Amino acid sequence: MKAVLPALARPLLEPKLPDGLSPHWFSIREEAEAMVVDADIAWIDLQNARASGEVLALGKQLKWVSTLRAGVDFLDLDQLKALGAILTNGNGINAEAVAEYAMLGVLAAAKRFDEVVRMADRHQWTETAPGQVELYDSTALVIGYGTIGRMIGDRLAGFDVAVTGVTRSGRDGTLTPDQWRERLSEYDWVILAAPATGETAAMFGADEFAAMKSSAWIVNVGRGDMIDQEALVEALEKRRIAGAFLDTVTPEPLPPEHPLWDVPNCIHSMHLSGRSQTRMFQRAAALFLENCHAFLSGTPMRNIVDLDAGY
C-alpha cells in the first residue's frame, strides 16, 4: 500500500511504520504532486494549506488522508467522499497552544498590554494603566465548545470568568447555534473557536456586533471568514464594541494596506496560535502512526472527520 509522507517526519515515522506499507517521502510540492496520483495513503501538509489541498486533489485512489491541521476547509471533501476515503485531522495536536493564545488575547485586551508594549518601545513611563478591566466576575461566550473551546473555558474559569459554550447539540448546558445570538448582550468576551464550515462563514456581522455590549471584545482563534470584516471595521471605528483580538483573518497574510491593520483597538497575532509551541510535529507523527496501525488492521481510528459536517 503506497503512502506519501513528509520527509521531515521520516526519522519519527520510518522505524515504526507497520509492515505492508510502501512509504514515499517528499520534500517539495512537485515531489508530492508526482507521488500522490496513485497513492493509497497521503499525509501532505505543506506550509500553505491551500497548496496542500491542491496537491491532494490530484490523488485518484486515496483511501486515507491525514492532516495535522484541525480545520479541513482547504480540502475538497466531496472528492474524498466520492473516493470513499477516510479523512483524519489534527484535532487536539495544537489545542493547548491555541487555548493559551486565546487566554493571551483576553488578558492582553483586559489590560491593554499592546499599549503597554508600545509605551515601553517609546521609553514612555506611565502611571495610568491603559487597561483596567478585571477578568474576575466577567462573562464569556465560547462559540465552538469542542476540544479547544473546552480548554479555553477551563482556563477562563480559572480567572473566575463565567463561561457559556456553544455546541451543535446543546450538550451539557451549552447553547445551540440558534440560541446564542439572542444572548450576545450578556457577555464581556465573545470567543470564536468553531471549525470552519459553510454555516460559519460570516456568522458574525453588523447585527451581531450591534447586539454585543459596547464594552465587549471579540477574540477569534477559529477562522478569519467567520467574521464579516467590513462590519468589524465599522464596529471598531464607531466604537460599537471595545475591541478585537484576531489570530485569524481573511485573506492570510493580511495585505499591508488592509484597513484592519489601522482600526482602533484591534490586536493582531498573525495566525501564530497553533505555531506557538515546539511539539506539534512529534504529536502529529505519533497520531499518524497510531492511525496507520489502526487503518491497516481495520480497528477504530482517531480524529475521523465527518465529510458531510466538515469537521
Domains of the chain: 2-93+278-297 (3.40.50.720), 95-275 (3.40.50.720)
CA distance 264 to 190: 18
* pTM (two decimals): 0.89
Question: What per-residue confidence (pLDDT) applies to 198?
Answer: 79
Residue-wise pLDDT tens digits, 15-61: 999 998 999 999 999 999 999 999 999 999 998 899 999 999 999 99
State the Cα–Cα distance between residues 252 and 260, nearest whole angstrom: 12
d(CA 233, CA 235): 6
Q: Which residue type, as a one-letter code, is found at position 204? A: F
pLDDT (tens, 9 = 90+) of the chain, 311 residues, equals 999 999 999 999 999 999 989 999 999 999 999 999 999 999 999 988 999 999 999 999 999 999 999 889 999 999 999 999 999 999 999 999 999 999 999 999 999 999 999 999 999 999 999 999 999 999 999 999 999 999 999 999 999 999 999 999 999 999 999 999 999 999 999 999 998 887 889 999 999 999 999 999 999 999 999 999 999 999 999 999 999 999 999 999 999 999 999 999 999 999 999 988 888 889 999 999 999 999 999 999 999 999 998 98
- How deeply is 200 buried, as exposed, middle or buried, from its count of CB atoms within 10 A (0-12, 13-18, 19+)? buried
CA 302, CA 311: separation in Å to the nearest integer? 13
Helix 95-111 to helix 113-121 angle (10° resolution) is 70
Edge-first strand listing for the sheet containing 41-43: 22-26, 2-6, 41-43, 64-66, 86-88
Q: Closest Cα to residue 41, out of 69, 22, 54?
A: 22
pLDDT tens digits for range 190-206: 999 998 887 889 999 99
Task: Please give the pLDDT value at position 196.
Answer: 83
What pLDDT shows up at residue 199?
83
Name the DSSP class of 256: T
Residue type, position 222, single letter: G
pLDDT at 144: 96
Cell of 25: 517521502
CB contact set of 193 (below 8 Å; sequence gap of 6+): 98, 102, 142, 143, 144, 145, 146, 148, 149, 152, 221, 222
Residue 281 CB burial class (10 angstroms; 0-12, 13-18, ≥19): middle
Which neighbouring-strand residues pair with 41?
3, 64
Q: State the chain's mean pLDDT as an integer.
A: 96
d(CA 95, CA 148): 5
